[in-house]
């Protein structure tokens, strides 16, 4: 950037600071800002439009347009060039505004006299606050340097808006963060909780966006970065000895903290007049803007890291939120844009609820929250902008709703809901150590699904009899490089120790489809769920599978071991996978290592074809676990990740149940133990129907064990079966209605 422009932008910021420091407030301040920009840029018009509500922009100050139109002229998001700038979140710069796409003539402003238009979004950390506009009579596009100067000014205006510097006259400028807000998101973990907002990344308020001594400011920036690097190094050293799952996450932070590009861009912004804090925030805004546009999961994770790092740096620079953990309120509800599993593990189980702006049902943080049964709402758009630390918040995990600063009516209804939930929890706790035995005397083994060491404490807490599915890929997913065999076997032996002798069914790596390892080249497949995944990868490129099998054998250290292979479709595939295990056993024997005292080798039944495998398969396999999540998507041809179709077909559809019944029968005929470990096993009515069909082992997330056991203990399965049969004879498509109606009179 040429030196002349650097000083121009610095000069403009210097004058802006004087204007803002002067003894004026509200509208008068805003008027000063537009005057100053218009004069400095030698433009006839400078205007500021701010959001009145999430859909409407209002002209709040102008130099050059009709003064009568201030607080009168409004436009919808996307309407006209101003609305287009706000909607796209990017600069609109044109020499010939009337011919530009989206132009809308506003007669009351008198803007017909102006030919050129440059609109710059006013944004703060990805939240759109308004638009800064410069117009000139001469038909000229602003130069890139002029646009850059406007962006820097817009950044300062955003900070001042956040600080309430313009609050005064005008509805659009009324104080934010006071009204009740209901945010609709999606359900990720059921349950309801009431508490106090605890922001994962407290809003660091930058009170000094402009600096006048770039040299001193750059020194501050350098010193803060040094401190940041040091703190990341310290965290890494600490994590190495305690939590291997966190180390990989921190390695990524360290990589960014040392990135020369990041540093260079911030330095340039400081040289152009921004304070160190504002320069960091500018980078953070950029990362968030890219984050909102990128669909690539790997890139999103990395941008999230960068965002997190910027926050840490801001906290160092401002000294705000340094001892955030110490300030945790009594019933903390964590509010964040997104959160990584490592960070969530750091907070521990003290959290009463979590509300995320982004997140996904299958993310690792979600899996941790589910393991701990913390109510979690995801996709709650706008929550990080709306919530302030200390606000009251109600999390309704059943409906996927968060109520921020609720009014008394909402609060009252919610308290009733909480009371019901507490009564239910007490009921589940009282039967924790009792068996899941039905009135007709059938014993159902209830097991839990897990994937991280952090899940294991739930084993005793939930009353699960063992781990029916241990998804080993989660430990691969939370790190940034392929784990080594010694690391893996240490992890598996920690899992076995934590299980304290209860059976753990380890499922070998199921990667591909939605589970993409950050350190493996993604495969560009047209249909990854039916693509090169799970055992297909394991058999084609057996290096990782062999390492995993060996690590499992070593971890067992002479104790019993249960291993199952994912996504088996044919007898031949199972035999090939089993042969890999035989080779691993031979290697271990040769090395003189102890072998497991007993070994079970099972298969996941996740494709319809395996149900029709030759008898030899059922004879060779030691146990079968029905992976209903995948099985259902292939049975009904309905993508489990696609919101439009994933709930279209009912699990209790008679065709699916009759298929499951056949699987149970083939297993019974061959004496093969069978269990069900998909999500449906944890839904009480589904679990009941599976048990009525003859399933005696179900594996689910720990929080579901109480509700499922509670229901099973109150019914007679022969009665359930006859209700189901009647519905089928009746021609019902699904038995759900009949079973639900019958249940009303039973429990
Ligand atoms: C399943 O498909 O039901 C299953 C348990 O495996 P995952 O959800 O990990 O694909
Ligand atoms: Mg599966």
Higher pLDDT, 78 or 655: 655
Q: Residue 681's pLDDT is what?
A: 96
Say if ligand 1 is within 6 A of residue 195 CB.
no
Residue 361 Cα to ligand 2 midpoint, Å, equals 15
CB 36 within 8 A of CB 17: no
Whose Cα sits closest to atom 8 in ligand 1? 629
CA–CA dist 199, 452 (Å, integer): 25
Residue 545 Cα to ligand 1 midpoint, Å, equals 18
Most ligand 1 atoms within 8 A of CB, residue of 467, 511, 513, 566 to mutate: 566
pLDDT band at 322 (very low <50, low <70, confident <90, very high): low
Find the helix packing angle between 702-712 and 684-693, rounded to 10°. 60
The tokens for 56 are 């409407």
In degrees rounded to 5, what are phi and psi of residue 692?
A: -65, -30
- Which residues neighbour 248 within 8 Å (Cβ) at sequence distance 6 or greater? 478, 479, 480, 481
The tokens for 155 are 């950044």
User: For tokens 């340097």, what's the residue?
Assistant: 145
Burial of 312 (0-12, 13-18, 19+ CB in 10 A): buried
Residue 630 Cα to ligand 1 midpoint, Å, equals 6
Residue 634 Cα to ligand 2 midpoint, Å, equals 11
Whose Cα sits closest to atom 3 in ligand 1? 627
CB 377 within 8 A of CB 365: no
CB 412 within 8 A of CB 664: no
Q: Residue 554's pLDDT is what?
A: 97
42 sits in the region (left: phi over 0; alpha: psi -120 to 50; else beta) called left
Higher pLDDT, 289 or 578: 578
Residue 631 Cα to ligand 1 midpoint, Å, equals 8
Residue 278 Cα to ligand 2 midpoint, Å, equals 46
The tokens for 735 are 């038995």
Mean pLDDT of 455-461: 84
pLDDT at 162 over 60: yes
Residue 627 Cα to ligand 1 midpoint, Å, equals 5
State which H helix or E strand residue 17 sits in. Answer: helix 3-21
- Going by the DSSP 8-state scheme, the letter that residue 139 receives in this structure is -
Helices marked H in 58-187 — which ranges?
80-88, 144-162
Mean pLDDT of 157-177: 63
The tokens for 447 are 């097991």
Cα distances from 301 to residues 281, 290, 419, 544, 708, in angstroms, run 19, 12, 38, 24, 35
First to last CA, the chain: 74
CB 496 within 8 A of CB 450: no
CB count in 10 Å sphere of residue 167: 16
Helices marked H in 557-653 — which ranges?
571-590, 608-611, 615-620, 628-635
CB count in 10 Å sphere of residue 110: 14
Q: Residue 158's pLDDT is what?
A: 84
Cα distances from 65 to residues 20, 39, 147, in angstroms, run 22, 14, 21
Convert the pLDDT of each residue in 361-375 to its tens digit. Answer: 766 677 778 777 899
Say if ligand 1 is within 6 A of residue 305 CB.
no
Cα-to-chain-centroid distance, residue 104: 39
Residue 328 Cα to ligand 2 midpoint, Å, equals 38
Statement: the pTM of the whole predicted model exceeds 0.95: no
Q: Residue 246's pLDDT is what?
A: 60
Burial of 443 (0-12, 13-18, 19+ CB in 10 A): exposed
CA–CA dist 176, 510 (Å, integer): 47
SS (H, E, C) 279-297: HHHHHHHHHHHHHHHCCCH
pLDDT band at 286 (very low <50, low <70, confident <90, very high): confident
Say if ligand 1 is within 6 A of residue 124 CB.
no
Count how many residues are written for the chain: 747
Q: Residue 439's pLDDT is what?
A: 97
For ligand 2, an ion, list residues with CB under 5 A.
606, 627, 630
Most ligand 1 atoms within 8 A of CB, residue of 515, 608, 628, 678 to mutate: 678
Mean pLDDT of 350-371: 80
CB count in 10 Å sphere of residue 515: 18
CB 604 within 8 A of CB 564: yes
Most ligand 1 atoms within 8 A of CB, residue of 476, 604, 690 to mutate: 604
CA–CA dist 250, 294 (Å, integer): 23
Whose Cα sits closest to atom 4 in ligand 1? 627
Say if ligand 1 is within 6 A of residue 628 CB.
yes
- Which residues neighbour 658 within 8 Å (Cβ) at sequence distance 6 or greater? none
- Looking at the chain, the number of H-run helices and the number of E-run strands are 27, 23
pLDDT at 476 over 60: yes
Whose Cα sits closest to atom 9 in ligand 1? 471
Say if ligand 1 is within 6 A of residue 606 CB.
yes
> Which atom, in ligand 1's list, is nearest to the CA of 566?
6
Q: Residue 233's pLDDT is what?
A: 84
Q: Residue 448's pLDDT is what?
A: 95
Q: Residue 252's pLDDT is what?
A: 67
Residue 632 Cα to ligand 2 midpoint, Å, equals 10
Higher pLDDT, 320 or 355: 355
CA–CA dist 294, 303 (Å, integer): 10
The tokens for 99 are 């011919």
CB count in 10 Å sphere of residue 20: 20
Say if ligand 1 is within 6 A of residue 634 CB.
no
Mean pLDDT of 336-360: 82
> Which atom, in ligand 1's list, is nearest to the CA of 679?
3
Say if ligand 1 is within 6 A of residue 217 CB.
no
The tokens for 478 are 């939370």
> Which atom, in ligand 1's list, is nearest to the CA of 678?
3
Q: Residue 358's pLDDT is what?
A: 83
Cα distances from 423 to residues 371, 396, 418, 419, 428, in angstroms, run 21, 17, 9, 6, 9
Say if ligand 1 is within 6 A of residue 630 CB.
yes
Q: Residue 5's pLDDT is what?
A: 46
Which ligand has an atom closest to residue 625 CA? 1
pLDDT at 4 over 50: no
Most ligand 1 atoms within 8 A of CB, residue of 509, 630, 635, 660 to mutate: 630
pLDDT band at 177 (very low <50, low <70, confident <90, very high): low
CA–CA dist 16, 6 (Å, integer): 15
At CA 203, angle to CA 199 and CA 205, rounded to 5? 155
CB 545 within 8 A of CB 538: yes
Cα distances from 67 to residues 32, 72, 428, in angstroms, run 14, 10, 67
Mean pLDDT of 40-68: 90
Convert the pLDDT of each residue in 227-280 to its tens digit. Answer: 988 888 887 777 666 566 567 667 766 777 777 888 888 888 898 888 999 999
Residue 115 Cα to ligand 1 midpoint, Å, equals 60
Whose Cα sits closest to atom 1 in ligand 1? 627
| 353-356, strands of its sheet edge to edge | 181-184, 401-404, 392-396, 192-199, 332-336, 353-356, 376-378, 186-189
Q: Residue 624's pLDDT is what?
A: 98
Nearest-10 Cα torsion for 398, 402, 405, 410 = -30
Mean pLDDT of 212-234: 89
Q: Residue 171's pLDDT is what?
A: 44
CA–CA dist 576, 540 (Å, integer): 11
Q: Residue 337's pLDDT is what?
A: 85
pLDDT at 509 over 90: yes
CB count in 10 Å sphere of residue 107: 10
Say if ligand 1 is within 6 A of residue 510 CB.
yes
Residue 628 Cα to ligand 1 midpoint, Å, equals 7
Percent of the chain with pLDDT over 70: 89
Most ligand 1 atoms within 8 A of CB, residue of 677, 686, 704 to mutate: 677
pLDDT band at 160 (very low <50, low <70, confident <90, very high): confident
Cα distances from 643 to residues 463, 647, 737, 742, in angstroms, run 33, 7, 23, 30
Say if ligand 1 is within 6 A of residue 312 CB.
no
Mean pLDDT of 279-288: 83
CA–CA dist 731, 125 (Å, integer): 56
> Which atom, in ligand 1's list, is nearest to the CA of 471?
9
Most ligand 1 atoms within 8 A of CB, residue of 474, 606, 699 to mutate: 606
Residue 473 Cα to ligand 2 midpoint, Å, equals 11
Which string of DSSP letters, residue by residue, matches 190-244? --EEEEEEEESS-----S--B-S-HHHHHHHHHHHHHHHHHHHHHHHHHHHHH-H
Say if ligand 1 is within 6 A of residue 677 CB.
yes
Q: Residue 3's pLDDT is what?
A: 43
Say if ligand 1 is within 6 A of residue 641 CB.
no
Cα-to-chain-centroid distance, residue 647: 21
Q: Residue 502's pLDDT is what?
A: 97
> Which atom, in ligand 1's list, is nearest to the CA of 629?
3
The tokens for 434 are 């009792």
pLDDT band at 309 (very low <50, low <70, confident <90, very high): confident
pLDDT at 1 over 50: no
Residue 209 Cα to ligand 1 midpoint, Å, equals 49
* Rg from Cα positions in the chain: 30
CB 695 within 8 A of CB 726: no
pLDDT at 165 over 80: no
pLDDT at 289 over 80: no
pLDDT band at 456 (very low <50, low <70, confident <90, very high): confident
Which ligand has an atom closest to residue 677 CA? 1
User: For tokens 């009168």, what's the residue?
Assistant: 72
Which ligand has an atom closest to residue 362 CA? 1
Percent of the chain with pLDDT over 90: 51
pLDDT band at 700 (very low <50, low <70, confident <90, very high): very high
Which SS3 state, helix, strand or coil, does residue 408 take?
Answer: helix
The tokens for 452 are 């991280």
Residue 724 Cα to ligand 2 midpoint, Å, equals 27
pLDDT at 420 over 90: no
Residue 526 Cα to ligand 1 midpoint, Å, equals 20
Q: Residue 442's pLDDT is what?
A: 98
Burial 684-721 (b: 16+ CB within 10 A, else e): bbbbbbbbbbbbebbbbbbbbbbbbbbbbbebebeebb
- Which of 375, 627, 398 is CA-nearest to residue 507? 627
């Amino acid at each position: 950037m040429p030196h002349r422009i650097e000083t121009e932008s610095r000069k403009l910021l210097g004058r802006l600071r004087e204007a803002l420091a002067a003894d004026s407030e509200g509208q008068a301040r805003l008027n000063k800002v537009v005057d100053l920009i218009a004069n400095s840029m030698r433009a006839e018009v400078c205007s500021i439009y701010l959001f009145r509500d999430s859909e409407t922009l209002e002209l709040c100050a102008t130099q050059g347009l009709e003064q009568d139109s201030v607080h009168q002229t409004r436009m919808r998001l996307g309407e006209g060039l101003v609305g287009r700038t706000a909607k796209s979140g990017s600069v609109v710069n044109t020499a010939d505004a009337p011919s530009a796409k989206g132009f809308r003539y506003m007669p009351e402003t008198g803007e017909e006299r102006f030919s050129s238009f440059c609109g710059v979004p006013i944004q703060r950390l990805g939240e759109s606050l308004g638009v800064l506009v410069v117009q000139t009579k001469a038909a000229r596009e602003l130069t890139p340097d002029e646009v850059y100067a406007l962006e820097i000014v817009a950044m300062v205006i955003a900070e001042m808006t956040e600080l309430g510097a313009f609050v005064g006259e005008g509805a659009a400028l009324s104080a934010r963060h006071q009204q009740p807000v209901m945010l609709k998101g999606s359900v990720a973990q059921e349950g309801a909780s009431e508490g106090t907002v605890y922001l994962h990344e407290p809003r660091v308020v930058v009170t000094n966006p402009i600096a006048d001594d770039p040299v001193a400011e750059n020194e501050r920036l350098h010193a803060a970065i040094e401190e940041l690097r040091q703190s990341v190094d310290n965290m890494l050293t600490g994590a190495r000895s305690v939590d291997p799952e966190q180390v990989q996450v921190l390695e990524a932070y360290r990589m960014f903290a040392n990135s020369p590009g990041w540093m260079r861009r911030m330095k340039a912004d400081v040289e152009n007049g921004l304070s160190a804090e504002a320069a960091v925030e500018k980078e953070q805004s950029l990362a968030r803007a890219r984050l909102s546009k990128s669909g690539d999961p790997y890139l999103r994770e990395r941008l999230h890291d960068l965002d997190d790092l910027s926050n840490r740096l801001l906290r160092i620079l401002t000294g705000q939120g340094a001892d955030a953990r110490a300030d945790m309120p009594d019933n903390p509800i964590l509010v964040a844009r997104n959160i990584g599993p490592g960070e969530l593990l750091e907070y521990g189980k003290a959290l009463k609820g979590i509300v995320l702006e982004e997140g996904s049902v299958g993310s690792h943080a979600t899996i941790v929250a589910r393991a701990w049964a913390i109510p979690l709402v995801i996709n709650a758009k706008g929550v990080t902008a709306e919530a302030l630390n200390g606000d009251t918040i109600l999390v309704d995990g059943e409906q996927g709703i968060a109520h921020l600063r609720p009014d008394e009516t909402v609060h009252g209804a919610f308290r009733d809901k909480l009371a019901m939930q507490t009564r239910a929890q007490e009921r589940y706790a009282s039967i924790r150590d009792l068996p899941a035995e039905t009135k007709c005397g059938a014993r159902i083994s209830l097991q839990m699904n897990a994937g991280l060491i952090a899940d294991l404490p739930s084993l005793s807490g939930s009353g699960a009899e063992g781990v029916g599915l241990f998804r080993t890929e989660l430990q691969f997913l939370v790190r940034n490089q392929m784990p080594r065999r010694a690391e893996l076997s240490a992890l598996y032996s920690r899992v076995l120790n934590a299980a304290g002798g209860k059976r753990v069914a380890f499922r070998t790596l199921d990667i591909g489809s939605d589970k993409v390892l950050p350190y493996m080249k993604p495969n560009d497949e047209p249909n990854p769920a039916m693509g090169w995944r799970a055992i297909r990868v394991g058999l084609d490129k057996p290096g990782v599978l062999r390492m995993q099998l060996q690590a499992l054998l070593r971890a067992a250290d002479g104790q019993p071991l249960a291993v199952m292979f994912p996504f088996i479709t044919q007898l031949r595939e199972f035999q090939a996978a089993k042969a890999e295990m035989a080779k691993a056993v031979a290697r271990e024997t040769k090395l003189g290592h102890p072998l497991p005292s007993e070994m079970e080798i099972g298969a996941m039944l996740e494709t319809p074809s395996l149900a029709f495998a030759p008898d030899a398969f059922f004879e060779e396999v030691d146990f079968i676990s029905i992976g209903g999540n995948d099985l259902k998507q292939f049975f009904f041809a309905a993508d489990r990740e696609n919101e439009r179709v994933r709930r279209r077909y009912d699990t209790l559809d008679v065709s699916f149940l009759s298929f499951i019944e056949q699987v149970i029968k083939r297993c019974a005929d061959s004496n093969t133990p069978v269990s069900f470990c998909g999500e449906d096993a944890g839904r009480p009515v589904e679990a009941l129907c599976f048990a009525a069909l003859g399933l005696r082992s179900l594996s689910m997330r720990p929080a579901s064990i109480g509700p499922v056991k509670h229901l099973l203990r109150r019914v007679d399965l022969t009665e359930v079966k006859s209700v189901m049969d009647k519905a089928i004879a009746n021609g019902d498509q699904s038995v759900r209605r009949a079973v639900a109606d019958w249940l009303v009179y039973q429990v």
